[in-house]
Amino acid sequence: MLNGTVDIMSEDEQLSHYEGTEKLLEVWFRPIERGEKGDGGGASDLRSIPSEELKKLMTLVKCEIVSVLKDEHQTAYILSESSMFVSKTRFILKTCGTTLLLEALQELFRLAKEHCNYEVEDMFYSRKNFLRPELQHNPHKTFEKEVERLDKIFDCGAAYVLGRMNGECWYLYTLDRMNVVQQPDQTLEILMTQLDEDVMKHFEDTEGKKGSDVTKASGIDKILPAAKIDEQLFKPCGYSMNGLLPNNQYVTIHVTPQAEFSYVSFETNVEKEDFSGLVQKVIETFKPGRFVMTLFANEFAKCGSSFQALKETFLVSYKRQDKQYSQFKNYNLTFGNYIKER
């Protein structure tokens, strides 16, 4: 690491093609009832899993921990490929490139049982369609292969695709059971491509730059100004940011700036009744040519219906190609696909 800049991949590897699109895993855990499956004896907090065990877990995924940020509710890790968040009962892993995210599942469950006496309460795996799926390793070459792998682990899985099978789409695998996370839970993702070249210049030629300066110059610090931020620049280009907010809330941003395959992801679980203002800030900051957006919300979420919480105020500059609403047992989901008006 040099001046907050991390050298993870060679310049040739970065410039030929880099898949910015992430694979996203979110798992909620609950204590195992005593007498059912063994006591386990561990502390009921995922943060009690030793850091060395988490490092080993990341080797299965083919990435590494670069930086750590903590508050009283959660620990945020910047990875060589995206981010990880660990709180008392929630584990989030988000990895890009050709990482093998699903290789972490069985070991994660073992660690949660051994150190926390936990079992899975609910689970979500999702991703946008890849730009170059043929460069991925199995099972990530196709969503069908990912579903096959997940079905071997879970006996109550449900797989979905939203959007256009011959265009921009978004895949989801979740559990089809009545377990309910007994707290407000909402997740907004904005996955952007065809980014503005002037905006992307902030994240190129990172040698000698400071991550904090790039955060301010790009306007990222103004999107959720209350966030406590940890950022990293990568050589020769690229940027990752984790932000922690009160009450177990977070924000994470990842930037792949190369013009041929530019990509930016924004994700947060902040509680809002209306997300349209936040969405407006994000797209005004990065100026994407097109973007896919999803909002998950459970019955305790402040926003209520995800469909009503996304008012599409940006349609003066963007054209909607698709918008879909789905109702699951415990969550509702709104998906949208948008392209800039020319």
Among 67, 87, 96, 103, the one annotated catalytic: 96
What are the pLDDT digits (tens) for 143-197? 999 999 999 999 999 999 999 999 999 999 999 986 677 889 999 999 999 999 9
Active site residue 254: yes
The per-residue pLDDT for 33 is 81
Active site residue 140: no
What are the pLDDT digits (tens) for 47-106? 999 999 999 999 999 999 999 999 999 999 999 999 999 999 999 999 999 999 999 999
Active site residue 116: no
- What does pTM read for this prediction? 0.92
- Among 57, 147, 70, 131, CA closest to 96: 131
Among 22, 103, 146, 231, the one annotated catalytic: 22
Among 115, 140, 202, 254, the one annotated catalytic: 254
Q: Domains of the chain: which residue ranges?
A: 5-340
- Among 57, 173, 180, 72, CA closest to 114: 57
Mean pLDDT of the chain: 92
Among 126, 218, 240, 265, the one annotated catalytic: 240
Give 145: exposed, middle or buried? Use CB within 10 Å, 0-12, 13-18, 19+: middle
pLDDT confidence band for 324 (50 / 70 / 90): very high
Active site residue 96: yes
Q: Per-residue pLDDT for 4 more than 60?
A: no
What are the pLDDT digits (tens) for 250-288? 999 999 999 999 999 999 999 999 999 999 999 999 999
Active site residue 33: no
pLDDT confidence band for 342 (50 / 70 / 90): confident
Active site residue 237: no
Q: Per-residue pLDDT for 131 more than 80?
A: yes
What are the pLDDT digits (tens) for 195-235? 999 999 999 998 889 999 999 999 999 999 999 999 999 99
According to CATH, the superfamily of the domain at 5-340 is: S-adenosylmethionine decarboxylase (3.60.90.10)
Among 19, 26, 168, 189, the one annotated catalytic: 19
What are the pLDDT digits (tens) for 17-51? 899 999 999 999 999 986 444 444 557 899 999 99
Among 26, 67, 80, 82, the one annotated catalytic: 82
